[in-house]
Amino acid sequence: MHGLILAGGVGSRLSADGVAEPKALVPVGGRPQLLRLCDTLDALGCDTITCMVRAGVPAESLVSGRATLRVISCSTPSSLHTLALAFEALPPGPVFCTMVDTVMSWSDWLAVWTAWESAMSRGVEVLLAVAAPPQRDPQALHVRADAAGRVEVIGDDAFGSPLATAGVYGFAPLVRPLAARALEAGISRMRGFLAALSAGERSIQAVRVARALDVDRREDLEEANAWAPVVGP
């Protein structure tokens, strides 16, 4: 299993709120978020960990020293471009992916990891961690799933659903080439890619987590630091 951290964004909303650090290096619970996520993926059991980090962010020295970890500098225009670039760079195999601004408790990380291992054995192609969307996030990507967690719709047609993506995904090997194809088709954002996968009747499974924070603004960061969940065993 290849662990993947997407940290190619510029963190413009945090910067606008006066947060000086790049999003990947913002401290949560006293530790840079990128380092916390590397430790989490390592503890879960990823065979390799790849960090896609915005060019100019000094992340290499922060997470170096792990034989199975590498940092790839990128200047991609969207999360989907970053994902497609990562899929090309990763060795063959399934991927356990997280956005760099995702904060969850260790128990929820473990639940998503276990669900992805089980889902792969049943031929599921994509796994989504989902949670109740924060009221202050009008851009939440809503997900509608049936009682068994099988995803029916992702995106605008699921608006009003009590669930939204939580920023953690599992991707089977056969899904990886579809990211580049989506770009070729004119889809430019991760949310569009996920919506297209659901519209294409791919086998997508949702696993609900108790709580997930998306650190986009200063108030998100303050909430995450007040919560300061344990992210390791």
Is the residue at 232 inside a domain? Answer: no
Chain-centroid distance of CA 90 in Å reads: 16
Is the residue at 190 inside a domain? Answer: yes
Take residue 224 and report the two structure tokens written for it: 């995450």
Is the residue at 231 inside a domain? Answer: no
Is the residue at 191 inside a domain? Answer: yes
- What is the pLDDT, as a whole number, of residue 64? 64
Using alpha carbons, select from 91, 94, 85, 89 the residue that is nearest to residue 175.
Answer: 94
- What is the pLDDT, as a whole number, of residue 30? 87
What is residue 167's three-state secondary structure?
strand
Is the residue at 233 inside a domain? Answer: no
Alpha helices in 90-162 (DSSP H): 106-121
What is the reported pTM?
A: 0.94
Alpha helices in 71-228 (DSSP H): 79-89, 106-121, 176-184, 190-199, 218-227
- Residue 57: CATH number of its domain: 3.90.550.10
Residue 180 predicted with pLDDT over 70: yes
C-alpha span between 162 and 158 (Å, rounded): 9
Q: Which range of residues forms the domain containing residue 24?
A: 2-226
Q: How many domains is the chain partitioned into structurally?
A: 1
More confident call, 218 vs 208 = 208
Is the residue at 11 inside a domain? Answer: yes
C-alpha span between 218 and 198 (Å, rounded): 32
Is the residue at 118 inside a domain? Answer: yes
Tell me the pLDDT of the chain averaged across its residues: 89
Residue 127 predicted with pLDDT over 70: yes
